[in-house]
Structure 1
């Protein structure tokens, strides 16, 4: 992997830190026990997920082991300055005695797991609607709440949230697979009624601790209940965290932003988490270059304002993956540009096959709403192939998120994928008007996407706008670029030429850093400009507040 070098121009070392809520940022996955991972293994680790299993918490009716399963791990985490997220698995982790109480055993037809691998696991479940099950389940929540509320303040404050797992682990459905006996089927409406009942019980059991729910399964009724009944709207957002280029994420993000606006109107706050699971080591798009896959997945998760990102501990222990963790931590929890310590714009061009204005049917084929037309994806990629775009596994691009993640390599065209840059508080003005997209530039973490000048086509500048609320008196501006060719380019802040860079054709990704004043960052006054010679390719602009 090619390394980057830093050139310091007018750098001030006095930085203003604005702290997000403790415990947000990088977390391990899946599950945690003392000794599995610590800050020594990954300095960017901020929290660990403690997944409690009902059959271990209550091996005999009414006989709980909270001290061993929760109290002791919590003390180990505190000693390592780590925070804890909690979830109790029920469903497939129910104790055997639950069935001895008359609760029916439900067997499903599950044959493969979420990664498409054959499995015999998680095929047995209780029938959740049985009165005895509900009585025992709600009793477990009450006992859990009593234990948590009796913890010392220094231990209780280490709990970031409690995730409400109503059935199939932390997912939003009762079973993985379908019940073999139709009499145990549970309709979505009936299941969501059960979910709401469970949310209320958890909320009452652990007052003051956010109760996180799986948002992917929510409809309007469930969302409205959260808005009216929870002080912190805590959500699991799976499709914001399983890598980038996931179908329909434009719609998902728009829906989330609408929800976020409704939350702010009520004077409440939002807390989000998502996980990158074993797909990182299995799927072709990621396993061939895990540091790069994780880096761009982290940027996308930051763009979607994820607060906690669960990453497999095996990946967290590899220093090659720490850049992804570091940049995610920098932005995790910072939702207000007025207090955020930094802003970024990671440059990329998303080729969205659902955009018939940009890619008209007359030229690229297809029909609006028809996601399955592979030929359309291939024609779009071909139009940008000279800039590196390609489709290694077009069939996987035509499905939903769970199919997208199984792609064997790079798919640079998707359906409803995010069409532009990944950013927080810093946006590009009219992307593409003064630049061209680049794809698959090299194998470095930066080289998956970029934007570049094309002076022969008259594309010689990129303009950027910082959120007006950022309002920094002074800040450091960092530009990451590919030092290829011998072209010259400049960074303008306001009317001032903040720096000029002469490329030296080293083939390395480099960084330049310059200090500018607040007025020079206002409006759309930040600009990258081609001066002469070869075109330059850029990865990111980042602004870090000084004061």
Structure 2
């Protein structure tokens, strides 16, 4: 009975800890994944939409306030009602700037025949969006801003005065200051320089709008609403001002969202790597006191030439591109959602996205993965020294360098199809690129991973490109990238480990592995191995039939010891058991844990003052205490059976304890108690 009570206490403590983690998010992790932004889904109870976690809705200012002073939010109310009916969170926004109402402009008839201040129409030339926006407002005029503040105040009132049952479905509001969510004042060049806006003036205007959103949606007596912002990358000198404002002005209890860039719209796009390095730390297993998430939408990119080379491949790697930078929600337009719910391959891809996106904290992750990829980043002069690849400067416009890098990897399938596009930014690439490029500028460099890492991937395997030849519309989504053994260079073992925090307070109860591989050669063999209490075991031995199809191998391990004690600090190995170079897409692991009775509370001893470990059959402990004292050390197995209990006399300072124990290999709990304090920790023999 005591053991049962003890286990329930531990379960309660861990549940409380988990709830604190979840509540610390500005957007609940349970809502991370795919969202519907095109109104495609009307019935969320259908099984083929089980991966769709939320709804996005927006409306134009001109449609809401078609008549000055009369506000009609009915279109947004319909979407809020749908979110409530289907128990889904909803993201909302209003389009301003060029979508301001006509009554505001000079030359337009006064609304209701009553005169009031109006603004000039600002026209542009050369913008791609000219048909949608023939003119823009004078953003910096006091008149425009006065009307905008009134509108935003009414928008806030409309949302915050919803019945509580409906208000609870409002997840966040995206702040928009210019053209849609692009955060620029104009598309194209302003025809009359009198109305052009300098960067400084635009930055100041944006911060003013941010402040008004904060006033109306955060600094309120009740029902505050989380805000999401675009163009706030702290590593971008043109956006850091916005990041600094948000991270110092937004209430940390409320938090904020980040529009997640465009890296869920393609792969090998310029800037992927720096974007990841800048924001990933705030979004995945965050340690910094910033409460945030990221949300981004799919646009018309899916209909462009580059994406249409192979839809299955493009959607798959676009989804992984979002995961790679830490994207929380991937909001699909109607075209993309149609593909996702009506194409089984698409459904599988976006179920994957939702599953992966929800793995935010290592200690509570239910899935970990390593999807194999090699990106030939021309900006990386450590991997690709300038002297070895053309002996010219590594710059974005150096097309010869991209070519030479791919030539070095040509035997693995690498090449450049569109040199004109590789020197451009991601907006150009998505719209106008005509082929695949395996080298790029500042592109994602390695595997797409979360909490399950391949160790030294380029030293223990080789990256492959266009795995089964030319990519066509009928290619598999797995054909784009892979990794393989290379027997000729001795690369016959790939090594993997979990993030150390995955099993901080637990051990594996069950690990469900899925390995995707290409069955290319009849009779080829490979194996997956792990450490158990009995030693190294083979979890799976596979023999190919040589049909050149991608296969899934699934298996479950229930006795794994995860302590990074293998070669290179590994937990698992993928082993070539012949001389054939087998090819793999990646590994996914489903995680079930056995929780451990580790101490929590304010009366615990600092972990650094009690370090226990096994050295063969000797149980050892280093104990540091600031006074002379008596202590007790106990060792339990996972069933709660006492394996050892020893009273020890401690002297002030460092103490060393050692005892020989004839016990089997496995996981144990060491407990130190002294002067009313205690600490428990996991020990592996």
- TM-score for both structures, normalised by structure 1: 0.90
The aligned counterpart of 2:544 is 503
Deviations 1:125-156 (A, max 9, x none): 10111111111101111111111111112211
Q: 1:448 aligns with which of 467, 474, 480?
A: 480
| Matched ranges for 1:277-316 at <5 A | 277-284=299-306, 286-316=307-337
Instruction: Encode CA deviations 1:228-282: one digit per residue, 9 max, x unaligned.
Output: 222313111223222111223222222214656998433x311101223211111
Q: 1:25 aligns with which of 17, 30, 33?
A: 33
SS in 1 for 2:428: helix
Q: Give the deviation of 1:522 after TM superposition.
A: 3.4
Task: Determine the structure 2 residue equivalent to 1:13.
Answer: none
Moved more, 132-141 or 363-372: 363-372
Which entry has the higher C-alpha Rg, 1 or 2? 2
Aligned residue among 525, 536, 540 for 1:488: 525
Equivalent residue number for residue 241 of structure 1: 264
- Seen in structure 2, the aligned counterparts of structure 1 residues 329 and 58 have a Cα distance that, compared at 3 Å, is same
* Secondary structure of 2:190 counterpart: coil
More deviation, 296-305/312-321:
312-321
Does residue 228 of structure 1 match 2:248? yes
Q: Which residue of 2 aligns with 1:413?
A: 439
2:177 to 166, 175, 183: 166
The structural deviation recorded for 1:108 is: 1.2
1:52 aligns with 2:52: no
- 2:514 pairs with 1:478: yes
Counterpart of 1:323 in structure 2 is: 348
Which of the pair has the greater relative contact order for Cα pairs under 8 Å at 6+ separation?
1
Q: Specify the alignment match of 1:89 in structure 2.
A: 95
C-alpha contact 1:110 1:123 (8 A) present in aligned 2: no
User: Which residue in 1 is equivalent to 2:425?
Assistant: 400
Is there any run of 5+ residues in structure 1 with no aligned partner, and where? 1-15, 114-118
1:278-319 CA-to-partner distances (Å, cap 9, x unmatched) read: 1111123x1121121011111121121100112232222232
Relative to structure 2, which stretch is displaced further, 194-203 or 52-61? 194-203
- Matching residue of 2:455: 429
- Corresponding residue SS for 1:272: strand
Question: What does the per-residue CA deviation read over 1:390-447, in whole Å, with 9 as the maximum and x for residues that have no partner?
Answer: 2111221122222332321211010111111111111111112121111112411111
CA pair 108-333 structure 1, distance change in 2 beyond 3 A: farther
- Residue in structure 1 matched with residue 372 of structure 2 by the alignment: 347
- C-alpha contact (below 8 Å) 2:266/2:314 kept by paired residues: yes
TM-superposed deviation, 1:508: 2.0
The CA deviation string for residues 86-128 of structure 1, in whole angstroms up to 9 with x for no partner, is 1100111110111153212111113424xxxxx5222411011
| Distance of aligned partners of 1:88 and 1:96 in 2 relative to their CA distance in 1, 3 Å threshold | same
Partner of 1:5: none
Paired residues in the alignment total 522
Using the alignment, how far apart are the partners of 1:262 and 1:534 within structure 2? 38
Worse-matched range after superposition: 185-194 or 128-137: 185-194
Distance 1:490 1:427 in 2: 18
* SS across alignment from 1:317: helix
Which consecutive unaligned segments of at least 5 residues does structure 2 have? 1-14, 23-27, 107-116, 219-223, 469-474, 565-569, 594-685
| CA apart distance, 1:369 | 4.1
Cα shift at 1:22? 4.1
Q: Deviations over 1:328-351 (max 9, x none)?
A: 100224321111211111001111
